Structure 1
Amino acid sequence: MFTKIPFSDNMVELEVLNNGGDILKKVSIIIPIYNTEEFLDECIYSIIKQKYENFELLLINDGSGLSCTNKINELEKIDARIKVFHQEERKGVGAARNIGLEKATGDYIYFMDSDDYLGESTVQLLVKNIADHKMVTGKQVRTTLSHENEETAVALDTEVDPDVYLYQQNIKKAFKNRSALHRLISRDLINERNIRFSEDVDCYADLSFILPLLVESDEVPYIKNAYYFKRKRNDPITNPAIMQLDAEKKINDFITIYNQLKDDYRDNSEAAQFLDNHMINFYRKTIVTFLKDERNIDVIYEDLVSFAAKLDQQLLSKKSIIVRRELNPLVRNDRKKYESVNRLHQRLRKVKYALSGRTKLYTHLYRSVFTKLPLKEKTVLFESFLGKNYSDNPKYIYEYMLKNHPDYNFIWIFKEPGKNIPGNPKQIKRFSLKYYYYMGTAKYWVSNSRIPKRFDKREGNVYLQTWHGTPLKKLVFDMKDIHSANPNYKRDVYIQSRRWDYLISPNQYSTEIFGSAFKYDKTMLEYGYPRNDILYTGNDESTITELKRKLNIPVDKKVVLYAPTWRDNDFFEAGKYRFTLQLDLQKMKDQLGDEYVVLLRMHYFIANQLDISEFEGFAFDLSTYDDIAELYLVSDILITDYSSVFFDYANLRRPILFYTYDLESYRDTLRGFYIDIEEDVPGPLLKTTDEVISSINNIEKLNKTYKDKYENFYNRFCAWDDGKASEKVVKDVFEVN
């Protein structure tokens, strides 16, 4: 049972709580480092800024490359409490921590990972509350955010309390995560018991360190408000943490350390039971998933037999019948029986998955049935902006094919079918059973956004990713922190983009960015965007007048198009973002209404609807209008912020204004830009509605001011567009004349 003790910073209370102990004891903070230079500043400065100052910081360079090694050497110079030790070759986190233990001179030992960081009172709270205990711990907060966003990370914890509380926590619960991180431990205890980390494994080396602590202690104080920010790296592809390594490596390491420790602690029933329970849980959560592919049994079967032979049979007999049925054949080394049991288990898992919801049932049918059917060789499936409309690059590719290759079968995916589309293609509701069927059987996919991960691409399927803009904002692997609703954004995009066979690029600038941002190395179609064809073939007075009538906007008025993007950190849920209109429409109507009307076009991610009913006849919300290219054609001036629309609009050589009221926040915190927006864009950066109105009233003067910059911009970003991109793309992808 836990004891809850309120605690304050009053010095008298501190001395009572610590039984008069010396609160100035020295702490040795040990951090192994391997090629994590991008995180080191945040990690190290969070330690240097600790309220508790009596510490030494031991940085163990575990064979990092030159860049990271140089960074470590630079950090050593900033504070006399930092000590650096280099290993020329990588020996693993266990060996690095052991070096730290040998070099440490403090009264207490504290381990951190080099990509994590601390709250500024963390060490102080731990030292003040360890009292006569040999160890104390605090709260770990999982975060994908950087140290400068620490307040946001803390806010993720819904139980943050203004007071500090100390709990007496059961030792087994304290080590539930099998980690030595965020524990302040008496160095005397470590030295007396000669406790060290395993150097035989990369993953789970902590087990050999924490097991002796488990044996030596019953309870450990838990300080709720002593925060350790455990970063979940958002780039598990190019810079994975140890626990983001592949499953086979993790399995081999876990079984290796289990076997070693089971031998070492064979006579200690408490330690043995701890190991067995963790091994069985690991089997159920990690190993069983790895064995979804039956071929993986060959890879790890001998390891499975080795750990099963060490399991306590009495403990195993108390587990569920499912666990016993699977592990007993391993105990007997009966491979044939084990393969049969695993096969049945995997089938039952699939059935259970399929029966747990409609989406999972359809996904199961897609993988097990539809992708096994013959491919429809001349069937093309189109989707634009997650099925929200008939638009963009897929629209223009479709219309070219409809005119020139009508022998193909065309399918369009929509959230709400029933669109008026030329050629009368089959329209399918997104995420319906038919959708899964055609995803599984159509030879060609054409999409401008990401198709969900659950659609495994089958052999023979051809996926044309058209994308939907020239990037201004940093994308995917060029981003540092992820502020969106999906913290697994980088991993998910990587998985999804491995399926792309072709990717359309609008210019050389985009080709280079797509290569780094998506890690894309397949065929890049460098022809400009099909969606821009109309800006060359339809840029005439009769077409523009016809479009204005179609849109029910005054033919005799000039048109201002306002097309902003979304803000990553302002969301309802994944894929749905809010937007608050910052333009003062009343002021614009009063000063521009005689000559202009305003069209509002929100990004397709923006979920809230704008209420502009009081500006009827002046402002038109066309956010749901399918084709923004047609809005470009009718517009005399574009106002945007950080949306890629201005790259396309520049093809028309018409004025562009940039309403960047939150430039510093967006550029420096949320995304970052590929170009210098203050120097390179072909128009002024404006902060207020008054500046926008003034610019519109002086548009001819602005045109002259930005003439040379506009010309340079056009040559850099629009040179590939010539009105024939659709034709060139179709000929390459579909291999037709």
Structure 2
Amino acid sequence: MAVEGGGIIIKKVSVIIPIYNTKEFLPECLNSVINQTYPNLEILLINDGSDKPCRKVIMEYAKKDDRISVIHSTERKGVGAARNAGMDTATGDYVYFLDSDDYLPLTTIQLLTESIGQYSMLSGSVKKITFKVEADLPERTHKVLENRNKDRLFRNNSVLNRLISLHFIHSHNLRFNEEVECYSDISFLIPAMIYLDRCPYLTDCLYYKRVRNDPITNPALSQLERDKKVGDFLRIYNDMKDCYGNHAAASNFLDQQFLNYYRRSIIMLLADRKQVEQTFNKASISAKKVNPRSMKKLNILVKAEVDQLKKERKAIFSGLIKLHHFLYNAAGAIRSKRKIFLILYRSLFIRLPLKEKTVVFESFLGKNYSDSPKYIYEEMLKSKKGYKFVWIFNEKRKIPGNARQVKRFSLAYYYYLATSKYWVSNSRLPMHLDKRPGNIYLQTWHGTPLKRLVFDMNDVYSANPDYKKHFYKQSRRWDYLIAANQYSSEIFRSAFKYEKEMLEFGYPRNDILHDADREEKAQQVKLQLGLPLDKKVILYAPTWRDDDYYQSGKYKFQLRLDLEEMKQRLGDEYVILLRMHYFIADNIDTAGAEGFAYNFSKHNDIAELYLISDLLITDYSSVFFDYANLQRPILFYTYDLEKYRDTLRGFYIDMEKEVPGPLLRDSSEVISSIENIDIVKKQYKENYGRFYDKYCSWENGNATQRVIERVFK
């Protein structure tokens, strides 16, 4: 306790924070604690065998605030042991548990401490977040609700955002299980439930629980593999039933937890037939401890399954599980034609003979006929080696050759992906596709990276919080990956965790930029597009912003160029072509700039637009790496450079030093640079030369042929 000047007793709160290799999250977590409005804190950092970078952050904070004490363990013992060590050391009146990848609004501990009164425990809300939110909240009315149902309050199996009397903890010897990684909280909460007379809840008192976006490199406990979590849950359930099975309320609570967990997690684990063998005996031991009265509200199939677990009838249980998943999939299929196709894909198509000389192509999720897949296909057409070709499109296209065109997610789509030996794509194929033995997947990718990618990003501010997890699973299917330069090759290894063969040949899509007759081709493209032959062409090709979206997969873009002013000052000499990233869903408004601005965002092949352009305006899009092959001027319209670099993605290179053109902040600067383009070319001549040598030296016009010779044997 502490006594303020007015004689008011300020009770001490011991904040216990177990830490294991959370360097990237720790500053946000610890700042949210040391800046709490409640001052009388004892902050116990339990270093659970963290690596050197994480230990460094811990010690830096320990030096900043004398309220911080550190307990070091040289080996990882688990969150249960770490929390127990914190409780054994704590000297406060209350204990508050915080995970080191989470953080708090700045008033959370004060609200709990001021409201707890004579209660032994007071709980608030835990809010899961997938992106950063502000830790301070507007003023709200907070109320203590005394009639909270114990089962409802504890069914999340978590001690987080609960202020707990240390005297209460020691009086009842409350401990965390140290034998499991997951669900160790249950061993603390069950006796707490028994001994608590009242379980009050404080409204609008928040705790931010981070859902980590990288469950591959350093997963949170909740992101461990399902079989590990199921094993730990069953062990805890058995231990608690053995200890507290005679206490009616606790026993009933545990049974409901088991049955809910069985339906939510164990059944899903058993979709893998191998897991039935591995899990049956452990699940049977637990099922025998479930009181039959707790099973009355179960549906008939789940009840039958639990009964067979109780009776140790593995064969019957296995059959029921198979039926359960069949009915589950059938119910989904009734609601969705695509799910019917997927069932056929997995149960029938993938068992058909593999077509050894059939190649499936897709570019940008079926949106167009373009990029490296296009050029590989057209070169293979010339070879006449007996291959059959399938192209995946969202809508039918006019393309050369006699390739079969199939609609994305149609029945034919699943049939050909299941039976074709070769897949060629420049983006990720869907998660639900199962790559079969003998299938060869060539991933061409779609650019040299400027922006940090996947596992080189700490946080992902995008529409899909499972981005890294999904990317990892999808990229395990790649057999070959194309890199345009040494720089890309090294980044792909780290950012994609890619360990298979890298084709270091340059991009097939860039071969056209080195053709001897590229000027003649450019004239043909201009005629096809209806562009004036007597004017120079500006190409504007910006990227998309990860954080600016309507919903998953639907991104926004706000055009920041003043097209009307550009037309007025440049229209006698130039026209401008707008080519937006394929993720961007908006229709770009060119009103007021007719005859000057042309929206070619849906033009299939951006390489053709490169050929006809006299200069490029871009920002953080990888297009400038490709365009540099032409050695024509590039302007960088980077009006949001700091935000994009420091918040959203981060860059692999220093744009302010390395890019082959000026960084411009507003539309007027862009226009002035175009008016003085000869001066800009002279200013950046040396930079351009260095840039070309580093990023374009592999590109010599023969990448397509080299890829085909390596992959299609």
Q: How high is the TM-score relative to the length of structure 2? A: 0.97
Give 2:649's aligned amino acid: R
For residue 353 of structure 1, what is the aligned residue in structure 2? 332
Alignment equivalent of 1:375, drawn from 347, 354, 364: 354
> How much does 1:387 deviate?
0.6
> By how many angstroms is 1:382 displaced?
0.7
What do residues 300-356 of structure 1 show as CA deviations (whole Å, max 9, x unaligned)?
222112112211123234533222200112211222222222222232223223223
Q: What are the equivalent positions in structure 2 for 1:398-413 lying under 5 Å apart?
A: 398-405=377-384, 407-413=386-392
Give the stretch that moved more between structures: 485-494 or 23-32.
23-32
Residue of 408, 412, 421 corresponding to 1:430: 408
What is the 5 A alignment of 1:312-711?
A: 312-405=291-384, 407-417=386-396, 419-537=397-515, 540-711=518-689
Q: How does 1:63-462 map to 2 (within 5 A)?
A: 63-146=49-132, 149-150=133-134, 162-168=140-146, 169-217=148-196, 219-405=198-384, 407-417=386-396, 419-462=397-440
Show structure 2 runs of 5+ residues with no match. 1-5
Query: What letter matches 1:189 in structure 2?
Result: F
Residues 301, 320 of structure 2: 8 Å contact kept: no
Quick one: distance in 2 between partners of 1:374 and 1:721? 38
Give the match for residue 31 of structure 1.
17
Deviations 1:549-594 (A, max 9, x none): 1111110101110000111111122222111110001111111111
* Distance (Å, rounded) in 2 between the aligned partners of 1:442 and 1:389: 21
**SS of 1:568 mapped into structure 2:** coil
* Equivalent pair of 2:363/2:370 in contact (CA under 8 Å): yes
Contact 2:428–2:474, Cα closer than 8 Å, also in 1: yes
**8 Å Cα contact 1:539/1:633 also seen in 2:** no
SS of structure 2 residue aligned to 1:204: coil
Aligned letter for 1:525?
Answer: L
Once the two structures are overlaid, the 10-residue window that deviates more, 681-690 or 137-146, is 137-146
Superposed CA RMSD in Å reads 1.7
* Matched AA of 1:447: S
Deviation at 1:278, TM superposition (A): 0.5
Contact preservation (8 Å) 1:657, 1:692: yes
Aligned-partner Cα distance in 1 for 2:559–2:293: 67
Is the CA contact (8 Å cut-off) linking 2:512 and 2:518 kept in structure 1? no
Q: CA deviation at 1:617?
A: 1.1
1:41 equivalent to 2:62? Answer no
Partner of 2:710: 732
Cα contact 1:445–1:463 (8 A) shared by 2: yes
Q: Distance in 2 between matches of 1:602 and 1:465?
A: 23
| Structure 1 residue 56 corresponds to structure 2 residue 39 | no
Instruction: State the distance in 2 between where 1:218 and 1:666 align.
Output: 53
Distance 1:539 1:69 in 2: 60
In structure 1, C-alpha distance between the alignment counterparts of 2:517 and 2:690, rounded to whole Å: 21
Instruction: Return the offset for 1:298.
Output: 2.0
Aligned-pair distance for 1:607? 0.6
Q: What amino acid is the match of 1:687?
A: R
Aligned to 1:12: none
| Structure 1 letter corresponding to 2:523 | T
- Tell me, what secondary structure is at the counterpart of 1:472? coil
Q: 1:480: Cα distance to partner?
A: 1.1
Q: Distance in 2 between matches of 1:180 and 1:541?
A: 69
Instruction: Give, in whole Å, the separation in 1 of the partners of 2:316 and 2:609.
Output: 66
Q: C-alpha distance in 2, partners of 1:469/1:323?
A: 50
- Matching residue's letter, 1:488: D
Structure-1 separation of matches of 2:23 and 2:517: 51
Helix, strand or coil at the partner of 2:526:
helix
- The CA deviation string for residues 138-191 of structure 1, in whole angstroms up to 9 with x for no partner, is 121211224xx426x98xxxxx88433443322221112100111001111111
Q: CA deviation at 1:21?
A: 12
Q: Which moved more, 1:545-554 or 1:524-533?
A: 545-554
Q: Which residue of 1 aligns with 2:3?
A: none
Distance 1:538 1:53 in 2: 73
What is the match of residue 11 of structure 1?
none
Aligned-pair identity (%): 55
- Tell me how far apart the structure 2 counterparts of residues 110 and 672 of structure 1 sit (CA, whole Å): 35
Instruction: Answer yes or no: is the 8 Å Cα contact 1:171–1:218 preserved in 2.
Output: no
SS of 1:94 mapped into structure 2: helix
- Deviates most, 584-593 or 329-338: 329-338
Partner SS for 1:597: strand
Is contact 1:137–1:182 with CA below 8 Å preserved after alignment?
yes
Letter in 1 for 2:175: R
1:708, distance to aligned residue in structure 2 (A): 0.8
1:261-320: per-residue Cα shift (whole Å, max 9, x none)? 101112201001111110111111111111112211221222112112211123234533
